[in-house]
């Protein structure tokens, strides 16, 4: 009975169990495999993970605030996880913990087109921003990064690449990605972020990693300008699909996962 889990703190709002449970059922693995949400405090994270293989776990997703701790405890690191400095996926085999990061490729797969040669603007400098900047640079985009606390965006760019900027011209980019938490608590994105609702254009793609029950104010404004939009649930689905493929070595049923994550 292979077990899977998402480890977070808290995990109450996680859509991952429903999404992965539906995917396992669609793959015909629903009777055998299971996926559960496990809440674990930061100081208990390492012993919890170390105990998992003996409890029948073959892998786990790792979410806030454990993504750096997951990297630190791993016996083996995928290059992506090492370079981003965070892991969102663990695999347990032969008593070893292997750390992977599917956030970067999940983000790229959620985009309507390859960002190669594009000018991209990333807002934020947390863990999500690191994966996005890394992915965009690897694909050959030129990346500017803005953060409320500029010291953090400068530090991110020194480590990963891209240019930390203070005052962006929103019209200069083909791709705009909000990785900040703005909007999660109902904040007005146009009050907190250096973006103006009337300045999006039809040629742009706008991504908001924040998700709730409907389109965010940011995506609504982008949509009314005719821009292509990508929401945080699509990115959740794509990174989840890549994790599932690592654990099961089977192609993930994307439509099923999408429907479950949006329910």
Is residue 117 among the annotated active site residues?
no
The verdict on 125 binding ligand ATR (CB under 6 A) reads yes
**Is residue 177 helix, strand or coil?**
strand
> Which residue number, 22 or 87, has a Cβ lying nearer to ligand ATR?
87
Residues 84 and 131 sit within 8 Å (Cβ to Cβ) = yes
The region of 25-33, 45-53, 73-81, 142-150 touching ligand ATR under the rule CB under 6 A is 142-150
Contact call for residues 74 and 45 (beta carbons, < 8 A): no
- Stretch touching ligand ATR by CB under 6 A, among 77-85, 143-151, 167-175, 194-202: 143-151
Q: Helix H segments across 186-227?
A: 189-192, 217-224
Distances (CA, A) of 37 to 12, 18, 54, 88, 175: 8, 10, 18, 14, 33
Closer by beta carbon to ligand ATR, 91 or else 123: 123
- Decide if residue 213 touches ligand ATR (CB under 6 A): no
Does 14 bind ligand ATR (CB under 6 A)? Our answer is no
Q: Which of 149, 186, 214, 263 binds ligand ATR (CB under 6 A)?
A: 149
Q: Is 101 in the site for ligand ATR (CB under 6 A)?
A: no
| Separation of alpha carbons 155 and 135, rounded Å | 17
Q: Which is nearer to ligand ATR, 21 or 170 (CB)?
A: 170
Q: Which strand ranges, in their side-by-side order, compose the sheet holding 119-123?
A: 163-164, 142-146, 119-123, 175-178, 205-208, 228-231
Active site residues: 67
Site residues, ligand ATR (CB under 6 A)? 64, 124-129, 147-149, 152, 179-182, 187, 192
């Amino acid at each position: 009975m292979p077990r899977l889990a998402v480890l977070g703190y808290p995990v109450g709002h996680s859509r991952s169990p429903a999404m992965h449970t539906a995917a396992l059922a669609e793959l015909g693995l629903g009777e055998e495999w299971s996926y559960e949400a496990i809440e674990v405090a930061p100081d208990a994270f390492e012993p919890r993970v170390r105990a998992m293989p003996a409890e029948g776990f073959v892998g786990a997703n790792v979410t806030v605030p454990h993504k750096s701790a997951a990297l630190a405890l791993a016996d083996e690191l995928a290059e992506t996880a090492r370079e981003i400095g965070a892991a969102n996926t663990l695999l347990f085999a032969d008593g070893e913990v292997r750390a992977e990061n599917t956030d970067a490729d999940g983000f790229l797969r959620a985009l309507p087109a390859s960002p190669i040669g594009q000018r991209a603007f990333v807002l934020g400098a947390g863990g999500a921003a690191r994966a996005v900047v890394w992915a965009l640079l690897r694909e050959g985009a030129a990346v500017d990064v803005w953060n409320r606390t500029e010291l953090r965006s400068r530090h991110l760019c020194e480590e990963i690449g891209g240019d930390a900027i203070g005052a962006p011209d929103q019209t200069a980019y083909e791709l705009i990605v909000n990785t900040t938490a703005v909007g999660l608590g109902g904040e007005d994105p146009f009050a907190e972020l250096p973006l103006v609702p009337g300045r999006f254009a039809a040629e742009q793609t706008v991504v908001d990693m924040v998700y709730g029950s409907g389109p965010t104010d940011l995506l609504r404004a982008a949509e009314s300008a005719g821009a292509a939009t990508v929401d945080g649930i699509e990115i959740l689905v794509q990174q989840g699909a890549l994790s599932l493929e690592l654990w099961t070595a089977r192609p993930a049923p994307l439509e099923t996962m999408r429907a479950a994550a949006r329910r």
